[in-house]
Structure formats: C-alpha cells, structure tokens
Structure 1
Amino acid sequence: MSEPEPRCAHYQFVHVALRTLVFQEARLAAALWELDDPMALLDDIALQVVRACRGEGEGGELRAEQLTLHKLRLGAHPCVVIEMPEPVAATEAFMIAILELRDLDASPDSDQAAERRYFTLEYSGHRPAPHTVLCEWTAQGSHMNMGGGPEPEVGAFVTELARFVLD
C-alpha cells in the first residue's frame, strides 16, 4: 500500500503561504503575537490557500477553527506555535513555530529589527508510532531537515526548539 500524498491545503498553508508571508511581511509575525485574537488573520490565509488549491483541481479544506494557536516565550523572544489538523502524509506538519528574535524584555523604544525563524514539526510516517522530523525554513527559501523530532506535543516541540535557538 502506497503512502498518501500530502493534502494541498495543509501543505500549501504550512510550507508556502504562511512561511512566505512571515518572511515578507514582518508585521504578520508581530500581529500573531500581539493581537488578542489573530484567528481571523489565519482564517483569511487558509481560505486563500483553499481557493488556490481548488483552482489547481485539488480538494481539501482548512479553516482557522481547525488550528490551535499558542503564544509562548522562548527565552526573551515571542514564539507563536500553531497546531495543525492531524497530518496524514509525509511532509504535512503537526505544528509550526514562528519565532521573532526580538527581546520582549527590552525597552519598547529600542529599535530592534526582528529577525524571524520558521520551524515545522513534520510527519514522516508510522514506524510503529508517528515519526516526526524537525525542520526550519529560511528567509531565502531553504528547507533544512534537522533530523528526528520530538513527540508531536507543544511542550516537547518548544523544548526542542530551545536547543537550537537559545544555545
């Protein structure tokens, strides 16, 4: 039995649309952290992805109510973790982490250029339990596989990210 193909809306939201916007629109990462309820923003992105997938003859559905957003601190940095619907195919993601490398403890007057980092915790198959891979996308569009990832749980994901970001 062959492995299923990644769902268009799931894959495109994580690996193309949201990633591209995070790096091209610095305000997006800040808005996800600062807005009381950024779900309407995520829903708009998801709807655009679904429309594009349908335009390519692909089905699929993705809405903000299927996502869970967590606002955390990774050291002094704001980190937004988005839990995706359960992945069913390799390269679909359990979670995304958007990290701004600005210091939340610094003076609000400081003029920090907030570099952003974009991580994914991806599904890579069952063997016999779900196997994860930790990856990072760069602003230049490179997808770096950092090897086997943690359990698909927010705390484990953030703890693993801290090893790469805070060390």
Structure 2
Amino acid sequence: MGVIDSAWFYEKLSERGSSLRDMARFMGLDPSAVSRMLNGERKMSAEEQDQIADYIGVPLDEVAAHRRGDLAGFAEKKQAGYESAGANPGELDEPPVKMFTEDDVIYKDGKRWMELDDGTLLEVHPAWGCMKGTLTIMPGVDLTAPADPDWGKVYDDD
C-alpha cells in the first residue's frame, strides 16, 4: 500500500469536531473499513476520496496529496511552470480563432445552432458539450508533460 498521511486525516476530523464513525456513516461504510483505509491497510477509491473531501471541507487535490503522502500535490517536482509566449508572463495568449461557448448557442426549431461571423447558422453537432463536467483538471497540472520521460527508452545514453 502507499504511504498515507493518517495524522492529517485524523487532525481534520478533530478540527471538524467529528469522529471516524461520523465520517463512515456519511460515506455509507463500516467504521472498520474507514479505519483501515486511513491507516493505509486498504486502498482509498476515487469516490471515497471525493466523499472525504466533501465531508471534511477541503479541496480534492489536498485530500489526494495526503492520500498518497505526497505533499507536493499533483505537480511534478522537477517540472517548470507554464510560461506564456505573450507579452505578459502568466497570462494566456488569445486563441488564434474565435471559440464558441455556450453563450453563443441559438436554440431554434428544436436544434442547436451557432452563428458565424458572416451571419450564417451552423448546426451544432449533437455530441457538442456532452462531456461538460465529467473531468476536473487541478490547477498546476500540465497535461502536455510526459508521464514518464524514460518511456520507450531502450538503451542508455552512456
């Protein structure tokens, strides 16, 4: 099992004035299962992680960091932060083309449409927006960074 920061979880319960049994009841689990989970004898599922974050009132990434015993959170320790190519560092560049948003959707004849710059209507694909809310990317996460820089390496550089 991974190293879990048990003391942090028990401290948060204490700050909230709750017990492990209260949290187990909230999660719909047996108190012994929650105890084993917080002591590192049982893995914590993603759903349980979400429930714990809700119960103790802390951000999900904080629970995830203490779940793994990695207080750096999701960011890789050696990864440089994102630097914008724009004039003001830290500000995102404007996209090269206008992107449609939900505010641009026109509902007409039971269909969804978006108006182009020249005034013509473009029917929105039925799958547009279907994934909204299904994925949360934590602040500071670079999805373009390699998960393992040595992946696919078949020989040493020496």
Same fold (TM over 0.5): no
Q: TM-score, normalised by structure 1?
A: 0.24
In the superposition, the TM-score normalised over structure 2's length comes to 0.24
More strand by share: 1
Larger Rg computed on CA atoms: 2
